[in-house]
């Protein structure tokens, strides 16, 4: 496979790396402990369920992308097939807040693993985790403001290192577990908890969407992207399964539940000692930092596109003077606002709350895209089965996650609900009442580009 094709675009290896980097780059380090707290030894099964729904959503995106003109992502599909700029804009805002939640989740995990390495929880009376989370956000906001990006080859190399560490963790852990009391899968204790946990893990399966935003940088993307999506999601699921089984078998559900934010490092310490714990913690820092950078840059690109189509306020004008733009013509004020929102999330929110909110946004959007693809089932090359599974999965995940939060984490439930209500009110005010200067004509380019 040739990586840099004649036109300069990424080939299949680069596309798969981009998708995998978006999924396993930081997600498993932040999400695993949260999933184990809910599903126990069946955490691996939660990842299987979430992966199936994500794969069906991926199929829906692929088919909608093939049928739409212009090609794009969720807002484009809604504008094209539902002929609704309001729905397109609301989907765009929802995704954007989901990305903010994802970055906050990565920053939270970064701070947690850094504290684990340092062995100190407070500095000058301040919680070190929050300080370090804010610091890493500030660093990457600064880097994005001056336009620092990773090259395609660097991104591929980084993903290879991340996968090697996690696969090594799973293989060594499986060997150690087999030699010391056996591996436990929890297959004898089936319940509804894996479905609830699958909903909360959904944020760990959203990274393949990066391919939809980067179609112009991928060689022969119409053929490359579908293959990359169908390869990357099962690969991520396989890695998550191995990591989950090893962690719950070696550490035990009780210990993971006490320290969900550093679950992998705790497991590595059991069979690798201090060096094993250090390697995993350093890998977590490396992976979550990279995920922050990639997601922040992609979110800024996505925001800029929303502004151009009138789906974000004009005060974030995408056509502002050149001195307000960086990198790929991204307004500085977008990056700053994303940084401020992310900082607020990661300092005020809990890991469970941030993860739940981010997963909620992607469940809603992925479910919506599955429904939209289902309405196109009359096309000869669109099967109704994958979109139907994606829609059913989303319909199941959403209420079960909310019910779990309401019964087990009432404070998180109220927080997530309040944030969601505020966002929906803002969206409706923007798109239905014109409160922020919105006009239907300004979004016509979504259907005519």
Cα–Cα distances (Å) from 139 to 128, 296, 336, in that order, read: 16, 11, 12
Categorize the per-residue pLDDT at 81 as very low, low, confident or very high, splitting at 50, 70 and 90. Answer: confident
**Six token digits for residue 287:** 């992976």
pLDDT on residue 9: 66
What is the per-residue pLDDT across 281-325, written as a single tens digit (0 to 9) for each?
A: 888 888 888 888 878 888 887 888 788 777 777 676 544 444 444
Rg value, the chain, Cα: 21
Cα–Cα dist 298/19, whole Å: 13
220 vs 228, which has greater pLDDT?
Answer: 228
Categorize the per-residue pLDDT at 188 as very low, low, confident or very high, splitting at 50, 70 and 90. Answer: low
pLDDT on residue 71: 62
Question: Of 86-90, 240-244, 306-310, 369-373, where does mean pLDDT reach its minimum?
Answer: 306-310
Residue 260 reports pLDDT greater than 90: no
Question: Of 104-118, 233-247, 331-345, 432-446, where does mean pLDDT reach its minimum?
Answer: 432-446
Give how far the C-alpha of residue 145 lies from the chain's centroid of Cα atoms, to the nearest Å.
22
Categorize the per-residue pLDDT at 52 as very low, low, confident or very high, splitting at 50, 70 and 90. Answer: very high
Cα–Cα dist 96/299, whole Å: 7
Rounded to an integer, the average pLDDT of 382-411 is 89
Q: Which residues contact 318 (CB under 8 A, 6 or more apart)?
A: 304, 307, 308, 329, 331
Question: Of 192-196, 253-257, 352-356, 410-414, where does mean pLDDT reach its minimum?
Answer: 253-257
Cα–Cα dist 94/361, whole Å: 6
Categorize the per-residue pLDDT at 263 as very low, low, confident or very high, splitting at 50, 70 and 90. Answer: confident
| Whole-number average pLDDT of the chain | 81
pLDDT on residue 44: 93
> Per mean pLDDT, which of 119-133, 245-259, 372-386 is the most reliable?
372-386
86 vs 399, which has greater pLDDT?
Answer: 399
Rounded to an integer, the average pLDDT of 264-273 is 82
DSSP secondary structure of 201-267: TGGGG-GGGHHHHTGGGBTTHHHHHHHHHHHHHHHHHHHHHHHHHHHHHHT-HHHHHHSGGGHHHHH
Residue 23 reports pLDDT greater than 90: no
pLDDT on residue 25: 65
Return the H-helix or E-strand segment holding 270: helix 263-308
Cα–Cα dist 273/278, whole Å: 9
151 vs 43, which has greater pLDDT?
Answer: 43
pLDDT on residue 330: 62
Cα–Cα distances (Å) from 414 to 88, 247, 344, 404, 408, in that order, read: 27, 30, 17, 12, 12
Categorize the per-residue pLDDT at 235 as very low, low, confident or very high, splitting at 50, 70 and 90. Answer: very high
Residue 58 reports pLDDT greater than 90: yes
Per DSSP bridges, beta strands 122-123 and 126-127 are antiparallel
pLDDT on residue 75: 85
Q: Report phi then psi at 92, rounded to 5.
A: -60, -45
User: What proportion of the chain, given as a percentage, has pLDDT over 70?
Assistant: 86
What is the per-residue pLDDT across 148-173, written as a single tens digit (0 to 9) for each?
A: 555 556 667 778 888 888 888 888 88
Residue 5 reports pLDDT greater than 50: no
Residue 445 reports pLDDT greater than 60: no
């Amino acid at each position: 496979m040739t990586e840099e094709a004649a036109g300069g675009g990424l080939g299949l290896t680069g596309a798969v790396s981009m998708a995998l980097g978006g999924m396993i780059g930081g997600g498993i380090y932040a999400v695993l402990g949260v999933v184990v707290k809910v599903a126990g030894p069946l955490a691996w099964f939660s990842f299987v369920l979430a992966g199936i729904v994500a794969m069906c959503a991926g199929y829906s995106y692929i088919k909608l992308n093939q049928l739409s003109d212009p090609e794009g992502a969720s807002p484009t599909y809604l504008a094209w097939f539902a002929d609704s700029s309001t729905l397109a804009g609301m989907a765009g805002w929802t995704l954007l807040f989901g990305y903010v939640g994802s970055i906050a989740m990565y920053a939270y995990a970064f701070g947690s693993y850094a504290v684990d390495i340092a062995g100190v929880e407070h500095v000058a009376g301040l919680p070190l985790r929050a300080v370090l989370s804010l610091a890493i956000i500030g660093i990457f906001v600064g880097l994005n403001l001056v336009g620092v990006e990773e090259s395609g080859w660097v991104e591929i190399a980084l993903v290879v290192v991340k996968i090697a560490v996690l696969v090594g963790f799973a293989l060594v852990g499986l060997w150690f577990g087999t030699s010391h009391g056996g591996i436990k899968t929890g297959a004898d204790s089936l319940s509804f908890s894996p479905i609830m946990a699958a909903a909360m893990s959904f944020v760990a399966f959203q990274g393949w969407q990066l391919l939809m935003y980067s179609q112009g940088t991928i060689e022969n993307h119409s053929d490359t992207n579908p293959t990359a999506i169908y390869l990357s999601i099962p690969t991520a699921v396989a890695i998550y399964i191995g990591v989950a089984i090893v962690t719950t078998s070696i550490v035990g559900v009780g210990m993971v539940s006490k320290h969900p934010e550093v679950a992998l490092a705790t497991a590595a310490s059991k069979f690798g000692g201090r060096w094993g714990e250090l390697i995993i913690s350093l890998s977590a820092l490396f992976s979550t930092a990279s995920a922050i950078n990639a997601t922040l840059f992609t979110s800024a690109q996505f925001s800029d596109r929303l502004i151009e189509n009138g789906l974000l306020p004009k005060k974030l004008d995408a056509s502002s003077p050149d001195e307000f733009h960086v990198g790929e013509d991204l307004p500085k004020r977008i990056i700053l606002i994303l940084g401020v929102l992310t900082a607020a999330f990661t300092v005020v929110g809990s890991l469970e709350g941030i993860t739940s909110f981010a997963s909620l946004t992607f469940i809603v959007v992925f479910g919506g895209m599955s429904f939209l693809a289902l309405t196109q089932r009359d096309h000869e090359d669109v099967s109704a089965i994958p979109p139907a599974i994606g829609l059913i999965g989303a319909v199941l995940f959403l209420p079960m996650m909310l019910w779990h939060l309401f019964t087990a984490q009432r404070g998180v439930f109220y927080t997530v609900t309040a944030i969601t209500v505020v966002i929906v009110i803002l969206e409706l005010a923007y798109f239905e009442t014109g409160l922020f200067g919105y006009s239907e004509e300004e979004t016509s380019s979504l259907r005519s580009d």
